[in-house]
Amino acid sequence: MLAQSITDLIGNTPLLKIPSEVHGLKNIEVYAKLELLNPWGSVKDRTAWGILKPHLDELNDKLVIESSSGNTAKALQMIASLHGSSLKTITNRIKVPEAKDVLKLIGTQIQELPGKSDCYDPNDPNDPIVYIQQEIAKDPEKYIYGDQYFNDLNRKIHYDTTGKEIIDDLGKVDYFIGGLGTTGSTLGAAQRVKEHNPELVAIGVVAEKEDYIPGIRNHDETLEVGLFNPEFYSEIVTVNSHDSLEAMMKLIKGSGLLAGPTTGASFLGALKYLKEVDDTLTETKKAVFIACDRVEWYTSYIKDRKPEWLGEAHSESWKDDVRPNAETDVSADRATQWIDDNQPLVIDLRQPISFKMAHIPESINMPYDQLDPMLNTTNPFSTKQKLLFVCPLGEKSSLVANYLAGKNAQAFSLQGGINAWRDQNLSLERDL
């Protein structure tokens, strides 16, 4: 297969039959539409292409602007880059740090929106669309606005391609299940499939209100989406992130599909609905759900909810080997005398920026956070030189001094830290 342009690779994704032991249904065959095989990894590649295709000529001298926090932004940026343009996304919904990193990496300009005002201010627009409109109004010729929540091209591309491909591969489909975000992919694809089988049952999947699932909305949020057509769906199933991740794991382990949390949500939504109808069926039916994207850029999202899945083995640390001993403490009121008598190397464990602002004269700076690699492997200090460690309150310095004292170093800790030193009005220096 030879491709002339990466955009030729958008769409034409296969359907994967999910083994019955993974979904557990007796009378329904379940197929995943593998949108995660699109060139940039998600169903949104089609959406972005559908929205930008009519504007390719304008991309030379215009920027793309959109409110997107993830896959749409990624795909819009990639298409824009191909044509010498780039994307500005105005959003307050980027909740997955990896997504933000990737967007920055590929050159997207991210503008964050202020949060909703806590004490009501009648003069506050409190609406992201207002900010996008203000930005466009400043220079209307500068931007192509994707408007994915209202733009019918978002629905149409899925009608033209996603839905058609499903019919070509499978013929008659009885159930179609998709997550509801902009609602374009589910609506467009399902409308096409329904033309082939007017009996099609379309199921939308939304997140619980207090929850967050990337790319799909909750009940209230769908009410604001321009493309959302509630009458179209036979049922709207609500899922939570916890169970969606379990469903995602079933797909990963049982069907070899490296599915992400949103795919898990669609699969879960499918099972929730289909389990009910399965028992009532006498003949075999076919269901299709959208496997919208992959797992890789959600690791921190998963870690937040399922830390045990990413459990890291406890590695050995110098901190395990500290035996507390008060004899390493030097109190602030006798510190100057002690320094005069012992001429120690004074080592300040605070961050460099704090060290610069104020420190004990002639001290050196070794930030605590950077000590681990050294102390875990070796003792970098001479055992002949007295050492006085200083930190904000004398806690971290005590740990370090006690550890090193156990390794035969002459290590001491300033009790009460730099705060106690300052409280004694002892001299501090500043590096400018």
Can you give the binding site for another protein, defined by CB under 8 A?
Answer: 90, 92, 109-122, 124-127, 131, 209-210, 219-220, 223-226, 228, 350-351, 353-354, 357-358, 392-393, 395, 418-419, 422, 430, 432
Question: What burial letters (b/e) apply to 28-57, b meaning 16+ CB within 10 Å?
Answer: bbbbbbbbbbbbbbbbbbbbbbbbbeebbe
Closest distance of CB 401 from another protein, Å? 18
Question: Among candidates 237, 292, 359, which has minimal Cα distance to 44?
Answer: 292
Closest distance of CB 220 from another protein, Å? 5
Closest distance of CB 109 from another protein, Å? 7
Query: Measured between alpha carbons, how far is 430 from 418 in angstroms, rounded to an integer?
Result: 13
Residue labelled with tokens 């004694």: 424
Closest distance of CB 276 from another protein, Å? 23
Closer by beta carbon to another protein, 126 or else 376:
126
Closest distance of CB 205 from another protein, Å? 17
Which tokens hold the place of 375?
């102390």
Report the first-to-last Cα separation within the chain, whole angstroms: 62
Residue 91 CB contacts under 8 Å (≥ 6 apart), including other chains: 67, 68, 69, 110, 111, 112, 113, 128
Query: DSSP string spanning 351-389?
Result: -HHHHHHSB-TT-EE--GGGTHHHHHH---S-SSSEEEE
Return the bridge partners of 206, or none.
Answer: 238
Closest distance of CB 34 from another protein, Å? 32
The answer to whether residues 260 and 36 touch, using CB atoms and an 8 Å cutoff, is yes
Query: Measured between alpha carbons, how far is 73 from 83 in angstroms, rounded to an integer?
Result: 15
Closer by beta carbon to another protein, 67 or else 410:
67
Closer by beta carbon to another protein, 279 or else 369:
369
Closest distance of CB 296 from another protein, Å? 24
Which tokens hold the place of 365?
């700076």
Query: Measured between alpha carbons, how far is 398 from 388 in angstroms, rounded to an integer?
Result: 10
Closer by beta carbon to another protein, 37 or else 393:
393
Closer by beta carbon to another protein, 95 or else 196:
95
H-helix or E-strand containing 249?
helix 241-255
Q: Using alpha carbons only, what angle is made at residue 78 by residues 72 and 84, rounded to the nearest 5 degrees?
A: 130
Closer by beta carbon to another protein, 336 or else 354:
354
Closest distance of CB 349 from another protein, Å? 9
Question: Among candidates 79, 203, 76, which has minimal Cα distance to 90?
Answer: 76
Closest distance of CB 233 from another protein, Å? 14
Closer by beta carbon to another protein, 94 or else 277:
94
Closer by beta carbon to another protein, 53 or else 319:
319
Q: Where are the beta strands (DSSP E) in 120-213?
A: 143-145, 175-179, 201-207
DSSP state letter for 290: E
Is the torsion defined by CA of 121, 127, 132, 136 positive or negative?
Answer: negative
Residue labelled with tokens 């749409």: 72
Closer by beta carbon to another protein, 80 or else 420:
420
